[in-house]
Structure 1
């Protein structure tokens, strides 16, 4: 909305999103190696500062080039977070011999992240009503900087000093080599995580399913809450191969019905999907045996960026039905590779 209200065409907005994605593709793995070689906590601190600078650029320079620069900064910040956070969390638990609890804690993090979308949406509405994009933008800058301050307080366990003696490129090569023997877990995360790109279309689905525009935010508010419920259950229940198949089937059914009540099925799909996502992410972390944990995680993340293009293509070709079929295909691929 900010871009459109600033006079940008749909084509230029698409170019901006392409710049954002390209930044992630180019820097995802190198940034993971930076976190492994130097500091995971430091990566999180710098990520918050970069994202704050990105939002500030949008507020100060509301033009195509200003938005492009902001997306590059935001993309860089996102790549520094991806992999570094999971590695910091897992190794912090492992330092106390408690790595077995990573799955439960990771599920809790996902749950809080999804639930937080509800009050944040309300706050954003109030901020926009009071001060428009500028107020919402400057508050976003403040929140990013606050995240950096909080990250400074994260404990970072000491690692073997000899692990970093060979330098950054050696760390990068170690991470890439480590991804090969555990490639099934890496591919599983890449495939499943990429499906989350479909979340961007939830409001469009509600509108297409005959929900009045004014009611779309309230109609879809339950979807992330059901996703949070699925993530929370992932910390308590084991994963079964049929769960992702069930998620795809539910999504196809919802798309075929295409009525307002089908949003309940959309929420059920998202809950099942988040259940599986927590499990595949946890399994990957348990299989990584080297200090290049953030780099290996970033390899999975960059894989998901490429697979996400299939989600976009499925939406263009057949809307939610095609995406549901894609979910079923991913479920079969993962089941076979396991």
Structure 2
């Protein structure tokens, strides 16, 4: 749990976009940096997921934290487009190492003790911690910036990432089966991609999780919505505080929600759509309360989706299959950006409604979930 806190308690997070601007980068250069970050993550996702499957998922998490730390060192010591780009390359590689490895390590660790049915509960708590940590991180970033500017915030971020690597190095990792050792890196890479593509249940779960995960990009627009709905700029962070808290509450209920049928989950997500539509009709500060309710319900369904994806995976390349879903999340996020461009809140609601329609058929209630 402490590792989950440390991965989000990084004070440079709320500041890096402003850092780029204050360094003198243009809007086009900043967009190029984000593109580099996304491209590295997408290209490295599956190959690095297979690396975690072949060698050690725990070591992958340690390496991910260290790569991120080195990236921030580059930002602090070489501020400028080239330095920021290099830092994003390192951060992107670290993120790709981490995404599939963490879920795989957690699931197999629980399965080694016959407790894989608790994955939704534990993963939901980790997600909730991540969301709650966003609030003190913003406060910490403000204090550090006032005391020592971007330099201090950057070096503290390096220290937090190194601490995260130390914590990750102590994670228990179940022993590998002899059959796993017989498979080489390329074999595991192929096996993971093949299972994600050919197994009907896994393929459907991968697509649903990709679509659900991509919806989280909606949070990028929360500050804009608050401003457009009449919240003064200085009060936007305060007005938005309830949204991640609601998301944390929803995620923490993931273990209970995993007992629900997929039809019930679809109805829950459909109710979230109605709440979101209501907020768009209001277009007032009070509408952010409705957005918070939407976000809590959405986060609860997402935790269940991630758990049921893990339940459907039967092969040895669990991190690789999960990484395939993570690539889908990136693509799905682009679809959300398009939905916002077309219809803002109503466009996003339409996209969420589409995902809700897929749930009853494509996100099966697995035997593990049914035993809860």
Stretches of structure 1 that go unaligned for 5 or more consecutive residues are none
* Counterpart contact for 1:256–1:321, Cα < 8 Å: no
Could you tell me which of 267, 289, 312 is aligned with 1:287?
312
2:334 corresponds to which of 294, 297, 309 = 309
Mapped contact 1:252–1:325 kept (Cα < 8 A): no
Q: Structure 1: how far apart are the matches of 2:351 and 2:312?
A: 27
Distance 2:222 2:134 in 1: 14
- Tell me the distance in 1 between the aligned counterparts of 2:182 and 2:151: 46
Q: How many residues align?
A: 338
Given candidates 96, 119, 122, the residue that maps to 2:139 is 122
Contact 1:164/1:171 (8 A) holds in 2: no
Matched, 1:147 2:167: no
User: Could you tell me how far apart the structure 1 residues matched to 2:344 and 2:34 are?
Assistant: 20
Is contact 1:249-1:328 (8 Å) kept?
no
Alignment of 1:25-174 (within 5 A): 25-174=42-191
Q: From 227, 230, 253, give the equivalent of 1:210.
A: 230
- C-alpha displacement of 1:212: 0.5
Work out whether residues 277 and 349 of structure 2, in 8 Å CA contact, stay in contact via their aligned partners in 1.
yes
Rounded Cα–Cα distance in structure 2 between residues aligned with 1:84 and 1:246: 33
Q: CA deviation at 1:104?
A: 1.0
* Contact in 2 for aligned 1:103/1:279 (Cα 8 Å): yes
Mapped partners of 1:167, 1:46: distance in 2: 20
| CA RMSD after TM alignment | 1.1
**Distance in 1 (alpha carbons) for counterparts of 2:179 and 2:58:** 19
Query: Residue 31 of structure 2 aligns with which residue?
Result: 14
Q: How does 1:266-285 map to 2 (within 5 A)?
A: 266-285=291-310
- Whole-Å separation in 2 of the counterparts to 1:333 and 1:185: 10
Pairing partner for 1:243 from 268, 278, 299: 268
Query: Is the contact between residue 205 and residue 362 of structure 2 (CA under 8 Å) also seen in structure 1?
Result: no
Please give the residue correspondences for 1:248-259 in structure 2 after superposition, counting only pairs within 5 Å. 248-259=273-284
Is this contact kept in 2: 1:103–1:282, CA < 8 A? yes
161-170 or 62-71: bigger deviation: 161-170
Spell out, residue by residue over 1:14-33, the C-alpha distance to the aligned partner (whole angstroms, 9 max, x if none).
11111111111101001110
Question: Which whole-Å deviations, capped at 9, do the CAs of 1:82-119 have from their partners, x for residues lacking one?
Answer: 01001101111111111111111111111111111111
- State the Cα deviation string for residues 167-212 of structure 1 (Å, max 9, x = none): 1000101111121311111111111001011111111211111100
Contact 2:209 2:305 in 1 (8 A): yes
**Other structure's SS at 2:256 match:** coil
Partner of 2:285: 260
Cα separation, 2, equivalents of 1:23 and 1:80? 11
Deviation sequence 1:114-161 (CA, Å, 0-9, x none): 111111111111111111111111111111111000000001100112
Q: Does 1:196 align with 2:216?
A: yes
Partners of 2:73 and 2:154 within 8 A in 1: yes
Contact 2:214 / 2:333 at 8 angstroms: preserved in 1? Answer: yes
Cα deviation digits, residues 16-55 of structure 1 (max 9, x gap): 1111111111010011100000000000000000001111
Q: State the match for 2:243 in structure 1.
A: 223
